[in-house]
């Protein structure tokens, strides 16, 4: 008797659980209980279509409803996250073709892994082209008495090869950053700073790139900043980098852009340390974020003894600006990837132009604006300009 009651109770609970399991997603779907924004997919979820008796609209309804059903299915985000986590941790598979899974849960941008393998390894013709592009920029600036420093940032796999999956085979020992730095040093007068060695050295005691982000962290940015100021001190001896002891660390949770790209930003969050000057000298004058990825910022320091700068950069400058701005009377930042904007240079008349380029962007460094190929007839000789110093824009 008792056994029959227990069996019946168990069957009832199982039946109720089954009914709840198959109806709950539908209820959530109809009520849109989950967020309408598919933020990790960089798109808006499909809206529920309205039925229309017109023939053309009725023919389009099934496909539109299917898109709505796929996007609005109950617990979609939770189930998708479970699938992605299982694929990554159990089988080492990435849910996105733009992200590669490495060892110990480390993620890499697939484009960086392609560079690490050597899929886009530079030939001598590639190096000659990019050196010529940089030399044209150097000469155009030198004719106006402006210094030019190119800062090359290595890809994450270059700094952490031990975290790359074993099946990734490296075809060449030398990466594109090293190749370009060596070739340009030998065949041009361009000043190039390769940050690879200092970042590799720093990574032995501190993490310089997070496991779930394709960019360096604040400590990696600080290491690159110190190396940049040390190089600039050859031109401006009074420049000294902010001491690490003068920075304030703040710990925040962070899932990384690679975690975001595979839909696991919340699931992969780990503590991340932000570094900011304890007593910042610079003030923000202007910041423009639109349209993405355009980024422009102007900072200033009330110290006329400091030089002025224009910084052309990619996304790696995001967490380095807090440090670099401390060392210039006026700094104009412009996210332009590998590009060069002569109009900005002519407007701000800086003493130095810094161009920061990450390794994976180097294949895009192939051309210059036409203005750079036409020397200015009114410019004084280069030596005279460099001796007397440039006409700098006044800081208001």
Split the chain (396 residues) into runs of 10 and give each run's mean pLDDT: 68 65 59 51 67 74 70 59 59 73 91 95 96 96 97 97 93 94 96 97 96 94 97 96 95 83 73 92 88 83 96 94 96 94 95 97 94 55 38 37
Alpha-carbon span 44 to 114, nearest angstrom? 30
Closest C-alpha among 220, 218, 203 to residue 163 = 203
**pLDDT for the residue 274:** 94
Alpha-carbon span 186 to 183, nearest angstrom? 5
- Residue 33 makes CB contacts below 8 A (sequence gap 6+) with 27, 74
Alpha-carbon span 178 to 192, nearest angstrom? 10
**pLDDT for the residue 236:** 96
Residue pair 261/332 in contact (Cβ under 8 Å)? The answer is no
**pLDDT for the residue 371:** 85
φ, ψ for residue 390, nearest 5 deg: -80, 165
The CA–CA distances, whole Å, from 15 to 1, 9, 18, 29, 88 equal: 21, 10, 5, 22, 33
- Bridge partners for 149 per DSSP: 191, 354
Exposed/middle/buried for residue 237 (C-beta within 10 Å: 0-12, 13-18, 19+)? exposed
Helix (H) or strand (E) holding 153: strand 147-153
**pLDDT for the residue 10:** 65
Residue pair 175/119 in contact (Cβ under 8 Å)? The answer is no
- Residue 70 makes CB contacts below 8 A (sequence gap 6+) with 46
Alpha-carbon span 79 to 248, nearest angstrom? 39
Phi-psi region of 51 (alpha: psi -120 to 50; beta: other; left: phi over 0): beta
Give the orientation angle of helix 124-142 with respect to helix 176-187, to 10 degrees: 60
Alpha-carbon span 35 to 66, nearest angstrom? 19
Alpha-carbon span 127 to 121, nearest angstrom? 10
pTM beyond 0.95: the answer is no
Helix (H) or strand (E) holding 237: none
**pLDDT for the residue 17:** 62
- Enter the tokens of residue 346: 């002519």
**pLDDT for the residue 97:** 81
Other Cβ atoms less than 10 A from the Cβ of 320: the count is 24
Work out whether strand 352-358 and strand 147-153 pair parallel, antiparallel, or are unpaired. Answer: parallel
3-class SS string, 211-269: CCCCCCCHHHHHHHHHHHHHHHCCCCCCCCCCCHHHEEEEEEEECCHHHHHCCCCCCCC
């Amino acid at each position: 008797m008792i056994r029959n009651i227990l069996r019946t109770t168990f069957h009832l609970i199982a039946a109720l659980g089954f009914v709840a399991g198959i109806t709950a997603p539908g209820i959530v779907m109809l009520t849109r209980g989950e967020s309408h924004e598919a933020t990790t997919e960089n798109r808006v979820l499909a809206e529920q279509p309205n039925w229309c008796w017109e023939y053309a609209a009725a023919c389009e309804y099934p496909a539109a409803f299917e898109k709505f059903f796929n996007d609005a299915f109950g617990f979609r985000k939770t189930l998708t996250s479970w699938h992605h986590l299982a694929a990554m941790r159990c089988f080492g598979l990435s849910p996105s073709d733009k992200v590669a899974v490495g060892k110990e849960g480390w993620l890499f941008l697939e484009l960086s892994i392609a560079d690490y393998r050597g899929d886009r390894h530079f030939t001598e013709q590639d190096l000659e082209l990019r050196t010529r592009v940089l030399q044209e920029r150097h000469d155009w600036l030198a004719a106006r008495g402006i210094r030019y420093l190119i800062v090359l940032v290595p890809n994450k796999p270059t700094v952490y090869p031990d975290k790359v999956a074993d099946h990734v085979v490296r075809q060449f020992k030398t990466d594109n950053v090293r190749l370009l730095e060596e070739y340009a040093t030998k065949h041009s007068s361009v000043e190039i700073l390769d940050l690879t060695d200092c970042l590799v050295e720093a990574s032995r005691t501190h993490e310089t790139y997070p496991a779930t982000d394709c960019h360096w962290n604040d400590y990696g940015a600080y290491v690159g900043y110190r190396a940049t100021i040390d190089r600039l001190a050859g031109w401006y001896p009074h420049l000294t980098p902010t001491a690490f002891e003068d920075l304030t660390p703040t710990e925040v949770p962070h899932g990384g852009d690679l975690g975001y790209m595979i839909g696991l930003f919340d699931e992969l969050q780990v503590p991340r340390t932000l570094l900011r000057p304890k007593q910042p000298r610079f003030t923000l004058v202007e910041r423009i974020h639109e349209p993405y990825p355009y980024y422009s910022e102007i900072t200033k320091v009330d110290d006329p003894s400091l030089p002025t700068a224009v910084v052309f950069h990619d996304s790696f400058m995001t967490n380095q600006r807090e440090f670099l701005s401390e060392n210039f009377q006026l700094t104009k930042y412009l996210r332009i990837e590998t590009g060069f904007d002569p109009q900005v240079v002519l407007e701000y008349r800086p003493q130095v132009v810094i161009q920061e380029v990450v390794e994976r962007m180097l294949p895009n460094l192939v051309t210059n604006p036409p203005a750079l190929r036409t020397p200015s007839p009114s410019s004084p000789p280069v030596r005279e300009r460099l001796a007397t110093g440039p006409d700098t824009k006044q800081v208001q």
